[in-house]
Amino acid sequence: MAWARQALQALALLVLVLGPCAGRSLSARERAALTAAGFLRDSVESVPAHVVPGDGERGAHRASLKSSIAPFGTQALPIRAAVEHRPSSRDRALESIPLRSAVERRPAPDPAVAPPPSRRASRPVVHRTSPRVGVRPLTSSQAWPANSAHPFLGAVGANWWQQSASALPSPSYVIPLSDPSPSPVATRWTPQTPIWPYLETIPNYAPAGPLLQPQGRWGLLGSPNYVFSTLGERQPPLVLTYQAIKNPEPEQKVVCYLEAWAAYRKDVVSYSADNVDPFACTHLLYAFASIDPHSFRIVPQDEEYDLVKGGYRAAVGVKRKNPKLKVMLSVGGWMEGSSKFSQMASRADRRREFIRSVVRVLDAHKFDGLDLDWEYPGALDLGGLSSDKDHFSLLVDELAEVFGPRGWLLSAAVSPSRFRMEDAYDVARIAKSLDFINLMAFDLHAERDSAADHHAPLHQRPHDASIDIFYNVDYAVKYWMKRGAPAEKLVLGVPFYGRSFTLKDPARYVPGSAIKGLGKEGRYTQEKGFLAYFEICELQAEGGWRLQVDRAGSPFMVKGDQWVGYEDAVSVTNKMAYIRKQNLGGVMIWAVDLDDFHGQCGTKTPLLSAVRNNIQGESVQ
């Protein structure tokens, strides 16, 4: 019996070990038992389950001539490759270690990362119950009058259908209102035109939401009726009635950064989330969180204010007044530098730990997403690494993969400089994963230029020469789009502050004049070369300033040897017109707490009002 044979082998082994101590040698029978082919220590040396040996190999000794199996120490066993494979430098650069990629490309499932079951994304509902094709009608106020003029297609009414067969969805799937069909093509249909192409594409298309198109295109409203006996007879149904409507204008974002440290300013200009108009912005970004240099987790930049005094809680609490508002946490900023970001993003395990911590923080404090303000990837002069460009793309992709099922938003604040962009961003790649891109189109001129100039000119000016021709808003926007950023994802940054300089010669104050250094610090912000718009309004109220406008429409003011370039309501209005002309995704404001919220320039929040009066969409009231 098998158990008896195994017992005999175990006894023989015991005798072998104890034999010398007992003062006797093994018998011939005992030696035969130990050298038998069946004694293999199967629990260690048995053939791996994924290898099927031949009939003569089962139970063969690993040194037997019968065995065709490679020694187990060199066998490429599953899972073992992940441990035994020695990563090469290329592996580390590409993060392509065998079997580890499934773990390292995104955080391993755990309670902090796995999306809650109740919030998992679901596929569109499939309806197979009705052979009748139709859509749910809208209210009469949304309907485009029948037989009226369409600005692009002409007469609208019973003779128009804008959806082409190639743009229709998969068979039997309903088009959700939030997921309109792409790229409609205008096609004329008379009341007696067969529509077999549509019927073959969607034979069981059930009632669904109206076919609204993005970007203000035209779609189908009402319930188109089809008359047929059976689908099998191939009698072409006829379009009887339908109606066209014009979509609402696409909503443009108003992304407002809120500086947490504004709460520490003097009482007269102190500002916190409690002061934010809940309907002024579509997105409120709380600046900033930081990165721990040892654990590489996201942490509060000011734990005392953010957590103990309720900075996070107050920011998220603005949504109670306007549930449509999205409140996001921004991590990084200029003072954070590039080094900690570079170290965190350079290794998969560090990125994983960072993402896990982000999930915990967003979940705990009920933020709607994360904004990455890494200034800047690949910036060697700021502590970055040349490999940051690829690592930033990996970080964005991995965050987007985790955020998607949870419905969280992901954005990034990016440089307007062409030269920074080339070193920092794979634009086309990150644009696919980011919900929107905050283009920091300001601080284009600073002390390094040795000249007094506006830091956010809309267009190139006659005095711009050499590389200065690249430092304007229009060039930055068009270069980002040229490199692959969709216009609808680009959100143009507008500064609610000015940059000041001290002139070498007060008599020479035109833009481009020589300077001795930065301008005097503001009374409240206490930073040389920087003035909040409320400080600029206070200075203007004192009198004695010459107010000028350059060739690009950018305002500046001069008094003695002090030169200040800034934005006012007129220049903001011009930039809003530019946003509409370029079909950009909206406007980003740095920062909402820098506006003249006390009305020293005449009316309260003049810059934010200029934005609100010129934005498209329904969320900003």
Contact 383, 406 (CB under 8 A): no
Report the DSSP beta bridge partners of residue 379: none
Cis peptide leading into residue 60 (ω within 30°): no
What's the burial of 496, exposed, middle or buried (CB within 10 Å: 0-12/13-18/19+)?
buried
Catalytic site residue from 104, 375, 398, 535: 375
Q: HSE of 17 in the Cβ direction (CA atoms, 13 Å)?
A: 5
Question: Phi, psi at residue 330, to the nearest 5°?
Answer: -100, 135
Which amino acid is present at 441?
A
Residues 534, 598: contact at Cβ < 8 Å? yes
Q: What is the token pair recorded at 126?
A: 């499939």
| Residue 110 main-chain phi, psi, to 5 deg | -155, 170
CA dihedral 272, 274, 279, 280 (to 10 degrees): -20
CB atoms within 10 A of CB 70: 11
With H, G, I as helix, E, B as strand and everything else as coil, classify residue 84: helix
Q: Which two tokens stand for residue 117?
A: 């079951």
Active site residue 95: no
Length of the chain: 621
H/E segment holding residue 362: helix 348-365
Q: What distance in Å separates the CA atoms of residue 26 and residue 206, rounded to the nearest whole number?
A: 86
Helix (H, G, I), strand (E, B) or coil at 69: coil
Instruction: Characterize 538-568 residue by residue with b for buried, 16 or more Cβ atoms within 10 angstroms of its Cβ, and e for exposed.
Output: bbbeeeebeeeebebbbbbbbbebbbbbbbb
DSSP 525-580: T--TTEEEHHHHHHHHHH--PEEEE-TTS-EEEEETTEEEE---HHHHHHHHHHHH
Give the tokens for residue 29: 């029978």
What's the alpha-carbon Rg for the chain, to the nearest Å? Answer: 34
- How many Å from the N-terminal Cα to the C-terminal Cα in the chain? 88
Distance of CA 81 to the CA centre of its chain: 34
Secondary structure element (H or E) that encloses residue 604, with its range: none
User: Alpha-carbon distance 49 to 40, whole Å?
Assistant: 16
The answer to whether 175 touches 211, Cβ cutoff 8 Å, is yes
Annotate 378-409 with three-state secondary structure. Answer: CCHHHCCCCCHHHHHHHHHHHHHHHHHHHCCE
Per the CB < 8 A criterion, the answer to whether 428 and 489 are in contact is no
Query: Tokens for 462?
Result: 């006659």
Catalytic positions are 375
